[in-house]
Structure 1
Amino acid sequence: MDYDVVIIGAGPAGLCLAKAFADQSLKVAVVERQPADAIAEPAFDGREIALTHASVRLLTRLGVWRHIAGEEVSALRHAQVMTGDSPAQLRIDSSLTDKPQLGYLVPNHLIRRAAWQALQEANDVTLHTEARVAAVSTDEREACVTLHDGTLLHGALLVAADSRFSQTRRAMGIGAEQQDFGKHMLVCRMSHEAEHGQVAWEWFGHGQTLALLPLREHLASVVLTVTEPEAQRLHALDEAAFAQEMRERFGGRLGAMRLESTRHLYPLIGVYARRFVGRRFALAGDAAVGMHPVTAHGFNLGLASVERLADMTATARAEGLDLAAPSLLARYERRHRAGTLPLYLATRAIVGVFTDDRPLMRHARQAGLALVARLRPFRRAVAATLADEGPVDASWTQRLRKGLAHLRPGSG
C-alpha cells in the first residue's frame, strides 16, 4: 500500500499530525496497536493537560478544539510555586499578560478523542488498528513498514509517534538519553472544601512534590510525586483513608478532601532523542522529547513537533521537493532541537534543585525562589510565553521585540 506519510502511533500527537498532513491533501497511514474503539472512546487516565495559547491555536486550526466540550475546558488563570514550609512563593498571574488566563486544562483522554473525531472528517487517511509492526526500513526511494500480518506500507516519509519508549526509534538506530527520576506520579481528581481560585500549585515539599491543577471550583486534579513503594501504598488505601492522607499532605490548606475519580500511577522518566531525524524518518511527540511534567510542557512540545513537521511538508509541496528531502529534515531537526532543548535542560535542573532535600539545598532554593519572585520582568516573561499565540518558531526580531517589552519600566 502506497502513502505519502506513514505514522506509527495514534496517541494525541500522532492523530494531530495525521490531521495536519491530511489537511495538505497528503495520503496518510496511521499504525496503532490498540483497537479502534479504544482510540475513539479512550478511558479516563487521570492526566489533565495544560495547554498554552499557541497549542490551542493549532488545535483550533486542525479542527480538534471544536470537538472538546466547553464544560470540559478549565481556565488556568494563575500559577504559584512553593517550596517546603517557606512563606516565599513565585506567583505568575494572568494580569501580567493581555489574556484573561495563562492557559487551559483539558483531560488527556478527551484531547485524544477529539483528535480522533477530527481525523474522521479527513480524506485519504487509513487507520491500521490492532496492528503490530514487524519491521521498518528506509532507503533512498521510500520508507517501508511491515506489519505482523504481512501487510506492507510504503511511504515517502515515516514518522514515529509511539511514546517516549518508542520501539520505532530504536529500530531505526536512534538512541535516546533517558533519565529515571526514581519517582512515581499518582494522579486523580479530588474535591476539596476550600476554593482554589483557578490557581495551579506546584509545591516542592520534603520527600514529595504536590501539584494542584484547578478544574471547576472545589474540584482539582491532584498530582503527587513520591517513591514507587509510597505511591503503591497510597494507591491501595481505601477512599476515606486516601482522602485524609491527602488532606494532611496538603497541610490542610484545601480543607476536607474527597476522591472523585480512579487513581493512576506513572513512572517518571525523561527522554531526549539523540537525533530527531534519519533517512526518510522523523520523530514526533514523546518519541522525540518526553518531558518531566513539572513544567507542564510535554504535550505542548509534542504539538510543536506537529506544527514543525507540517511546515516541512508544506514547504516541500510548495517548492516541488521530496517530502523527506534531507535539507528539510535537517531543518526540522534544527528547529525542534532549538525549541525543546533549553526547556528540557531547564526542567531537569529545576527537578534536581527543588527535590534535593539536603539542608543546604533547601535554604538555597528558598532564597532563590524569594529572589525570582521579586523580578517582575522574569514573571512577565514566563506569563507571556504561556499566553503567546504566535508561530512556533518566532524570528529573532520577533523574539527581540518581545524580550525588550518585558524589560520596559512599569510593564505588566
Structure 2
Amino acid sequence: MDYDVIIVGASIAGCTAATAYGRAGLRVALVERQRSPRAHKTLCGHFVLGGAHDVLRRMGFWQPMLEHGAAVTTGLGVWTGAGWIVPPPDSTVPPAVSLRRSKLDPLLRGIAGATPGVDLLVGHRVVGLVEEPSGAVAGVVTSGGGSERTVLRGRLVVGADGHRSTVARLARVAEDSAPNRRFLFWTYYEGATTNGPGDGQVWPLDPDVAVCIPSDDGLTQVGVFPAKDRLAEFTAERVAAFDRFVARLPDGPSLAGARRVSNLVGTTDYPCVRRDPAPRPGLALIGDAATASDPVPAVGCGWAFRSAAWLADATAEALAGGGSLQRALRSYRRAHRFIDRYDALGRREALAEPPTALQRAVRTAAVSDPEIARRLAMFGMRAADPSVLLNPGVVVRALVGLRARRPRGGPSRTPARRQAEPTGPAGPAQGLRPGPPRRTADEPGPRLTDRP
C-alpha cells in the first residue's frame, strides 16, 4: 500500500504531524502499535511550555484542549533565597497549558484519525523497514501480532515512537546518550492550596528541583526532581520521602485536607538521548525519537508539538509537488537546531552541578528587575532563542543592578541560599535542597517570602 508519508507512533508528535500532512492534502499512514483508543503515555509531566502556544493555536488543538479541562498557566513564580521571581503581567510571555496524557493522547488521536487523507492503523507494530539500494528509507513492514506482514511504502517515513525508537534502531541511526543525575516523582492532589505567587511555582534548589503546577479537572500536580545522592532515601520509603521533601519547601503548597488522587509516578533514571532528526534519505525523527531532553525543564511535550509542525512545514510542499525531499529535510534539520541549542544547555544542567556566580547574579537580579524576569520567563517557556537570556547585555545589567543594591561601606552580601539560573519550566537551575537555612558570617538570614 502506497502513501506520501508513513508516521510511526500516534502520540503527540505523530498525531500532530499526521494532522498537518492530512490537511496539506497528502495521503498519510499513522501506525500505532497499541490497539486501545484510550492508550496513552504515563511517564510524562504533560506541562506544555508557552513556546508551543502558537503551534497549538495554528493546529487547532488549543481550544479542544481547554474544552477537555486543560489548565492554563500565565505566570510561574520561581523561588530564590533573595525572594520570588515573578514576570510582570504585561510581559507578553505566552501561556503554558497542562492536560493529562490520559485525555490528551486520545484527543489528538481522534483529531488525526478524523483528518481526511489520514489512515489510523492501530495494532500495527513496525518490525522492519523498506530500504532502497541507495540507502533511502522507502517504507515500513508491520505486524498485527501474528505471522502475517504488511508492507507500507511511502516517500517519507517519520519516527515518532519515543526515545527508544524502533524506527531509529531499525535504521541504524547513531544515538548520543548523556547522563541525568536527578530522578523524578510526581502525584496529583485535589483541594491543594498554593502559597507562592503566580498560578504555578518552581523551586530551583541545590541540587534538587520541585514544581507545583495546575492541571486539568482542578487538580494540582506536585513533582520533585532530587539529585541521585538522595535515591536511597526514596527507595527505602518513597511516599514518606516525597512528603518530607514537599513539606519543607519554602512557601510550598498547603496539602492539609487535600486528597492525593494518584500513586506516585516517576522513574529513577531518565537519560538524555539525541539523534539526527533527518538521519537518512526518506527518514525523519520527531519528538523524543529525535531528542529526549532532561525532564526538569518540562520541554518534552512542547518539543513534540513543535518538531512535528516544523517537519510538516518543511516537507509538505515537496511531498505534494514532487520537489526535492532531501532539500526539505535539510530545512527541517535547520529548524530543529532551536531544540538542539536548548538541549545542550539542558544536558549540562542535568549533571546537577553547582551554579556559577553569573547564574546566581542573574537569578538574584531577576527578583527586582522586571526586564530580566521577563527574559527569564521567555527562556523558561522556550519562547525565544537561548540568547534572550544568555547574552552579555543581560549579564552586565544583572551585575550593575546587584552593585546598586549593595549596602554602602560594607562587604558584598549574598543570599542565604546559593542561587542559580532557574530550571524546570523556568529554565535551567540549581539551588539548595529544602531544609534549615545555612549562613556564614557575612550572609543575611533566610527570606522565605519552579515539566514536558
Q: TM-score range by the shorter chain?
A: 0.7 to 0.9
Shift of the 348–375 alpha-carbon distance from structure 1 to 2, 3 Å rule, reads: farther
Preserved CA contact (<8 Å) 1:198 1:217 = no
- C-alpha separation in 2, matches of 1:387 and 1:248: 27
Preserved CA contact (<8 Å) 2:49 2:382 = no
1:369 aligns with: 363
Name the SS for the 1:133 alignment partner.
strand
1:77 aligns with: 74
- C-alpha separation in 2, matches of 1:247 and 1:328: 48
Q: Given residue 164 of structure 1, which amino acid in structure 2 is its aligned partner?
A: H
Q: Given residue 349 of structure 2, which amino acid in structure 1 is its aligned partner?
A: I
Shift of the 172–318 alpha-carbon distance from structure 1 to 2, 3 Å rule, reads: closer
1:223 aligns with: 223
Preserved CA contact (<8 Å) 1:142 1:154 = no
Structure 2 unaligned spans of 5+: 398-452
Q: Given residue 315 of structure 2, which amino acid in structure 1 is its aligned partner?
A: T
Preserved CA contact (<8 Å) 2:183 2:270 = yes
Shift of the 206–374 alpha-carbon distance from structure 1 to 2, 3 Å rule, reads: same
1:68 aligns with: 65
Preserved CA contact (<8 Å) 1:62 1:118 = no
Q: Given residue 301 of structure 1, which amino acid in structure 2 is its aligned partner?
A: W
2:334 aligns with: 334
Shift of the 81–197 alpha-carbon distance from structure 1 to 2, 3 Å rule, reads: closer
- C-alpha separation in 1, matches of 2:113 and 2:126: 23
State which of 131, 139, 145 in structure 2 corresponds to 1:144.
139
Shift of the 272–48 alpha-carbon distance from structure 1 to 2, 3 Å rule, reads: same
Name the SS for the 1:36 alignment partner.
coil
Structure 1 unaligned spans of 5+: 394-398
- C-alpha separation in 2, matches of 1:247 and 1:90: 18
Name the one with the larger strand percent.
1
Name the SS for the 2:110 alignment partner.
helix
Q: Given residue 308 of structure 1, which amino acid in structure 2 is its aligned partner?
A: W
- C-alpha separation in 1, matches of 2:117 and 2:332: 24
Preserved CA contact (<8 Å) 1:189 1:259 = yes
Question: Root-mean-square deviation (CA), in Å?
Answer: 3.5
2:49 aligns with: 51
Deviation larger for 325-334 or 212-221:
212-221
Q: Deviations over 1:287-331 (max 9, x none)?
A: 111121222222212222112111122331575415xx2111111
- C-alpha separation in 2, matches of 1:90 and 1:173: 47
TM score, norm. by length of structure 1: 0.79
Q: Deviations over 1:113-138 (max 9, x none)?
A: 22112123212222222222211133
Q: Percent identity at matched positions?
A: 22
Q: Given residue 107 of structure 1, which amino acid in structure 2 is its aligned partner?
A: R
Shift of the 160–172 alpha-carbon distance from structure 1 to 2, 3 Å rule, reads: same
1:11 aligns with: 11
State which of 107, 111, 128 in structure 2 corresponds to 1:114.
107
Q: Given residue 20 of structure 1, which amino acid in structure 2 is its aligned partner?
A: A
Preserved CA contact (<8 Å) 2:311 2:332 = yes
- C-alpha separation in 1, matches of 2:218 and 2:33: 38
Preserved CA contact (<8 Å) 1:277 1:329 = no
Shift of the 231–145 alpha-carbon distance from structure 1 to 2, 3 Å rule, reads: farther
- C-alpha separation in 1, matches of 2:63 and 2:75: 25
- Tell me by how many angstroms 1:56 deviates: 3.3
- Tell me by how many angstroms 1:153 deviates: 0.7
How do residues 242-391 of structure 1 correspond to structure 2 at under 5 angstroms?
Answer: 244-251=243-250, 253-257=252-256, 258-266=259-267, 267-316=269-318, 320-322=322-324, 325-337=325-337, 339-352=338-351, 355-356=352-353, 366-367=360-361, 369-384=363-378
- C-alpha separation in 2, matches of 1:94 and 1:374: 11
- C-alpha separation in 1, matches of 2:251 and 2:381: 32
Deviation larger for 20-29 or 188-197:
188-197
- C-alpha separation in 2, matches of 1:369 and 1:305: 30
1:162 aligns with: 161
Deviation larger for 149-158 or 266-275:
266-275
Q: How many correspondences in the alignment?
A: 378
TM score, norm. by length of structure 2: 0.72
- C-alpha separation in 2, matches of 1:204 and 1:263: 21
Name the one with the larger helix percent.
1
Shift of the 203–181 alpha-carbon distance from structure 1 to 2, 3 Å rule, reads: same
Name the SS for the 1:334 alignment partner.
helix
1:396 aligns with: none
